[in-house]
Structures are given as C-alpha cells and as structure tokens.
Amino acid sequence: MTQGRAGGYRILHEAALRDYLAGLPDLAAALGGQPAAWSITEVGDGNLNLVFIVKGARGGIAVKQALPYVRLVGESWPLPLSRAHYEYLALSRQAELAPGLVPALLHHNEVLALTVMELLQPHIIMRKGLIAATHYPRFVEDITTFMARTLFFTSDLALAAADKKEAIAAFAGNHALCKITEDLIFTDPYRVAEQNRWTAPYLDALAASLREDMELHVAISRLKLKFMASPEALLHGDLHTGSIMVTDSETRVIDPEFAFYGPMGFDVGAVIANLLMAYFASAGHERTPGERRSFEVWVLETVERVWSEFERKFLELWRTEAAGDAYPATLFVGEKGAVWLEAERQAYMQRLFADTVGFAAAKIIRRIFGLAHNIDFELIEDPQRRAISEARAVRLARAMMVETGTFRTIADVTGAARKFRDWQPELSG
C-alpha cells in the first residue's frame, strides 16, 4: 500500500483535480454540467491538508487531499500520507455508528491520499459561530450522540476482545499523527520548544511558571502515558470546535485523521476544553460590557449538558447494548447483580469524568502556549485583553490538571469557570 502511494501520489491542484473528477462518472454527474465550468476553490484552513470545494451546475462536493508534510510548518516537517487511509477508515466507522453526524463519503483514492465527501453547506465551522456568540440548539444532542455511540461501540463494553485487538492493530500505524499530539499537547507547552508561542510579553511569566511547575509536569506526563497506552475506544483524536461543522439544525464532525484507539476522556475533554475556551475568550470579544452574557450562559450550560447527556447516553447504551467481553452479564445476574453492576457503571463514569477533566485541561494549555493556537483567542485584537482571557483559562486548566479529584461533577468545572470569568490576572510586560 505504501509503495503504491509512493508510486502514484501527486498533489492535485486545480487543473489536475478537474481532470481527475471528470474521470469519475458518478461524481461528474453529481456535479453536473461541463467540467470546464466547475468552480474549484481551495479552502483548507487546517494545519495539514489541501481542501477544495468543487461546484457544478447540479451540486457541490468537498475534496480533501493529504500533503506529505505539515501544511502549517512546511516541507521541513514531513508527515505520512497514510493518515488519509486512517481518516477514511475512521470516517467509515463513524458513519456506521453515528449516521448523519459525519459527512457522507463519496470517493476515496488510497494512492492519492484523497477523499471526496458531501459538501456541507450552509454549515460553518462551529468555532467561528462561537466567536460570533451564536447559540447552537442542536449541538448537545448531536455531539453527545456522536461521542457516546462512537466510543461505546468501539470499546470492550461492546466488542469481543479479539475484534477489539484487531481494531487497535488496524489503527496502530497512525502513530505519526499520535506523535504530533504527544509532542504538541503533552510535552512542548511545558518546556522550552522552538515552536511554542504565547501572547508576549503579557504571558511571559505565566509561560515560565508552567515550565517550572513540576506538579503540573507530573500530571501532564500521567495524561501522556494514558494517551499512549490506554486503547479504550476509537477516538476522533482531534475533536475541537474547528472539527465540527454546524447549522442551527445540523451538526457534522469532520477531519478524524488523528483517529486511533485511545482513552475516551481525550475526545470528551476536547469538546469541553474548546467550549471553555470559547467562554473565556468571550470577554475579549465584548464591545460593551455584558453584551455576550447570554452566550456565555449558554456556553457553560452547554459544557454541563455535554457531559451529562454524554454520560446518560453512554450509560443507556451500556445497559441495553453491552455485547462486549468486559463486565460479562453472567457475572451480574439477578437483582443483586443488577444493583452492583449499576454501581460499577457509575464508578466507571466517575473515572471517565476524571480523565475528561484532565485531558480538557491539557487541551486548553496547548492552545495558549504551544504551536497551534485557536482563533477564539487569536481574534481578540488587543493582546492585553487576549492575555487576560488566556490567563483565566490557564488558571482553570491548571487546577483541573493537578487537582482533578476536586472536580467531582461537571458543575464543579463550570462553577470554577464562572469564578475565574472576572478574575484579574497579573500580566508581565
């Protein structure tokens, strides 16, 4: 497979892509009209790939092609094309498990590391909507269904152990993408690293304090080990609000190229972290004090409901669809068995919640001190206001990472967020 790719791979820019699509009758028919008349626009704003929107007389499609390097950095940072294979594999599995919550797959070419999907319109990247203070009434329902179903049905609670082991092995080759996470989320923000950046000079002292904070280094290292060696379920692996496209009435999760078998809390924590960052960034986007208050109330409610609905749906699947080798039903028969198993389900969710809190914290800190930032904060033009929002988020994140056990419920998380909303940090510079 790798050889085939090395042999036939070429980057398809506009003209080559037009010819390629014209040669695929189903896609050409879906686009409609003459190929020469199709509009082709490169829209990739992610860090890794080319993304084209192609529109014809009848309809549109989205085309994603992996580049053999990290787009954000350039050819000096090579990255295997095989990630397109894993993304396709994950997307196929997610489509089975959470129908309607990922884009429809239309075509995949392994050699070109290229996938064609339905064009999501009028969907926008959720992060952009959050910056504009938009409420998304469908979001909790959809994202919790996506997470509960994709995580539960790929776990030992739903799968026979043999199938689970083979599934882990099927994604083991995606380690270059895992390595990005291991470095950029779990290591670099806590040490001197060339690619780190932060809102200087205001956060200089905070950045330095994180590099010296050994209690935090132990906590992030435990999380890193858990990320590397706890294949609980098939993760999306990069489930931030830039990987979610939304309208008022629809939600689609995109871009699972970081997919692998890892700890469930990493996905759930990613969603919660990005909502918390939207919350802390909100103050920085205010033009008049309090104008985004109802949005901020909605975001924290959403954090609470993301956890509580995820937990409710996951537990319900466990009660009704447990066909896996873990917690065998034959060990929990009768009324007494049911009571003990239900108590254990609650204990399991409590452990998963602790993981979620820890991973959420890691996702926040990397966006403020690491390589890849997010526009929630970046679009706050005044760097001092940005730094204030960021410092508040970091204060919460540090507590979540080193005092994880004190966050017993999701209300403890949102309560702490509310408390730090108006906290005035001391800035450097």
- Per CB under 8 A, residues contacting a copy of itself are 156, 161-162, 164-166, 168-169, 172-173, 175-176, 178-179, 182, 187, 190-191, 212, 214-215, 217-218, 220-222, 224-225, 228-232, 325-328, 330-332, 336-337, 339-341, 343-344
Q: Please, where are the H alpha helices in 52-172?
A: 83-97, 126-131, 139-153, 161-172
Query: Minimum distance from CB of 209 to a copy of itself (Å)?
Result: 13
Which is nearer to a copy of itself, 61 or 341 (by Cβ)? 341
Query: Minimum distance from CB of 354 to a copy of itself (Å)?
Result: 14
Bridge partners, 163 (sequence order): none
Query: Minimum distance from CB of 85 to a copy of itself (Å)?
Result: 15
Which is nearer to a copy of itself, 13 or 191 (by Cβ)? 191
Would you give the end-to-end CA distance of the chain in angstroms?
A: 53
Cα-only R_g, the chain: 22
Structural tokens at position 268:
């759930």
Sign (positive/negative) of CA torsion 214, 410, 100, 243? Answer: negative
Query: Minimum distance from CB of 228 to a copy of itself (Å)?
Result: 5
Whether residue 27 contacts residue 68, with contact meaning beta carbons closer than 8 Å, is answered with no
Q: How many C-beta atoms lie closer than 10 Å to residue 206's C-beta?
A: 23
Which is nearer to a copy of itself, 6 or 176 (by Cβ)? 176
Query: Minimum distance from CB of 377 to a copy of itself (Å)?
Result: 24
Which is nearer to a copy of itself, 212 or 382 (by Cβ)? 212
- At a CB cut-off of 8 Å and minimum separation 6, what does 369 contact? 189, 196, 197, 198, 203, 207, 210
Element (H, E) at 43: none
Q: Which of 256, 221, 223 is nearest to 239 (CA)?
A: 256
Which is nearer to a copy of itself, 186 or 310 (by Cβ)? 186
Which is nearer to a copy of itself, 30 or 402 (by Cβ)? 402
Query: Minimum distance from CB of 208 to a copy of itself (Å)?
Result: 14
Which is nearer to a copy of itself, 231 or 284 (by Cβ)? 231
Element (H, E) at 282: helix 264-285
Query: Minimum distance from CB of 331 to a copy of itself (Å)?
Result: 4
One-letter identity of residue 215: E
